[in-house]
Amino acid sequence: MDASTTPQAATVKLLIGGQFVESQSTQWRDVVNPATQQVLARVPFATPAEVDAAVAAGKEAFKTWRKTAIGTRARIFLKYQQLIREHMGELAALLTAEQGKTLPDAEGDVFRGLEVVEHASAIGNLQLGELANNVAAGVDTYTVMQPLGVCAGITPFNFPAMIPLWMFPMAIATGNTFVLKPSEQDPMVTMRLCELALEAGIPPGVLNVVHGGEDVVNAICDHKDIKAVSFVGSTKVGTHVYNRASLAGKRVQCMMGAKNHAIVMPDANKEQSLNAVLGAAFGAAGQRCMALSVVVLVGEAQQWIPELVEKARALKVSAGTEKGTDVGPLVSCAARSRVEGLIERGIADGATLALDGRNPTVPGFEKGNFVGPTIFSGVKPGMSIYEQEIFGPVLCLAAAKDIDEAIEFINSNPNGNGTAIFTQSGAAARKFQEEIDVGQVGINVPIPVPVPLFSFSGSRASKLGDLGPYGKQVVLFYTQTKTVTARWFDDDTTAHGVNTTISLR
C-alpha cells in the first residue's frame, strides 16, 4: 500500500458526524475489479484520530437519538427500504464490479439485507417490555428495553451489502448509534447504502463509517465508548475480536468460519437435489460462510457422482456482468492462489479430483481471478481440503453407509454453521433435525439461512457469543433490559410501618 498508488482513482470517503470526509491517512489500498484487475477506487486505512472522531460523533448523537420516538425511527427505515428498492440495479452493479458476484447473485445479496431493513421498520413490535400487575399489594413490575450507546460492526468482503444491513439498521432502530467498518476489499456498495440511509433520514452522527485493517479493528475493540461489537468473518479474526472486545468489557457477537455439510439420501429427488447441491456449492464462487462445501452421499446415492460432475462441468464461468454466468471470479489474486494451493494439497492428500476447475478459459477476461467448479471425491477427515474452509468453488464428496454414519460424520466436525439433508422420508428428516449438532438445519433446503423473523443461529466453532444477528436475538443484543418495580401510594393509604424483610406487602 502506498499513498501514491493510482492517484487518478476516486477515493472512498469516511462518514463522520453526517459528513462524507476525505481521510488524512497515509495508508491506502486499491479496490480492484476481480474480473479485469481495473482499479475502481482507493480506500483509506483510517487514523486513530479519525476512529476517535467517528466514535465521538456517535456518542454525541446518542444523547438525542435514544430519546427519538419509536415511530419516528420506524418511519426512517420504511423510507430506507423504499430507497434500496429504487436503487437495486445500481447497488447490484456496484457490488458486482468490486466483489465479482453475478448480477442476479448481487441483487440477492442486497435483497437479503433489505429484508432486515424491513424488519427494523417493525421495531415498535420488537422492542416491547413486559408487565406484571399487582405482583404484591399495589406493586407492579415491568421491563423496558433501552439502547446501549455507541455500537460497532466489522463486516467481511463476501456480502458487502447484506451483512452491513444485518448490523446497523437493527442497532440504530433500537436507539443506538453505530460505527461501521466495512471490508477494505469492496467498500463501495456499502458506502452507497450509507448515502441512502442518510437520505432516508438517519440524523448526523447516528451512523458513522471508518475503513481500515487490523489497527482499526483493534481500535474498535479497545475503545472505551463502544458498548457492543458485531463481527462476521474468518474464525481467526473473529476469535481475536471476541477475546479482545470481551476483555474490554463489551458485548460481542462473532459469526465465523464454517464447513457446511449436506446429507443426500438415496430416496432423495435426484434432479432437484443435484441442482441444489451445485447452486449451494458454486454460487458466489463458493465465497459464502454458508456455502455447501461437503456432501455426504449415503448408500446408492454415491452412484450419482458422474451426473453431479457433468452438471458442474456445464456451469458457465465468466465475469459477473456476463449474461448466463454461473460462477464469477474470486475476490482477489491472493484468494485465487490460496484456493489453487488447497486443490494441490487435496490431490497430494489422496482425494480423487473428479473435476479440475483450475485455469478456466474465460474469453475477454484473461486477467480475472477465475477458478471453475472443482469436485473431489473420496474425501476424509484429516485431508487439508476437509479440515480447512476453502472459500472457493470446491466441493468435497464423502461417503456413508447409512444416515447414522452420516450424522456422526457431521457431528464430528467442530463447526456448526449450517447443514442440510435431502430426502423424501419424513422419518429421516426428523431424525436428522433432532440428532444433528448444528445451529441451522435445512430439509431439502441447501442454504438454511433464516428470514429476519428468526435469528441467524450458527453454533459451536462457527459462533462466539450467545446472541445472533437480526431477529429477536439481536434486539436483546442491542438493548439493556431494565426491570422496574413500582408502588404508588394514595394520600389516605394506611402506613404498614417499617418492613425489614425482603418481601413486598
Contacts of 404 (CB under 8 A, 6+ apart): none
Residue 193's identity, in one-letter code, is L
H or E stretch at 178: strand 177-181
Beta carbons of 150 and 59 less than 8 angstroms apart = yes
Cell of 166: 444485518
Question: Residue 68: is it exposed, middle or buried by C-beta count within 10 angstroms (0-12/13-18/19+)?
Answer: middle
Cell of 501: 424483610
Distances in Å between the Cα of 9 and the Cα atoms of 6, 12, 39, 186 are 6, 10, 7, 14
Residue 118's identity, in one-letter code, is E
Q: Tell me how far apart the alpha carbons of residues 58 and 77 are, in angstroms, rounded to a whole number.
A: 19
The bridge status of strand 292-298 relative to strand 352-355 is unpaired
Beta carbons of 65 and 58 less than 8 angstroms apart = no
Q: In the β-sheet with 28-32, what is the strand arrangement from edge to edge?
A: 10-11, 39-44, 28-32
473 three-state secondary structure: helix
Catalytic residue list:
289
Rounded to 5 degrees, what are φ and ψ at 397?
-110, 130
415 three-state secondary structure: strand
Beta carbons of 395 and 295 less than 8 angstroms apart = yes
Count how many residues are written for the chain.
505
Distances in Å between the Cα of 256 and the Cα atoms of 100, 157, 432 are 22, 13, 24
Distances in Å between the Cα of 219 and the Cα atoms of 85, 216, 236, 259 are 34, 5, 17, 30
What are the beta bridge partners of residue 484? 142
Residue 478's closest CA among 65, 175, 155, 112?
175
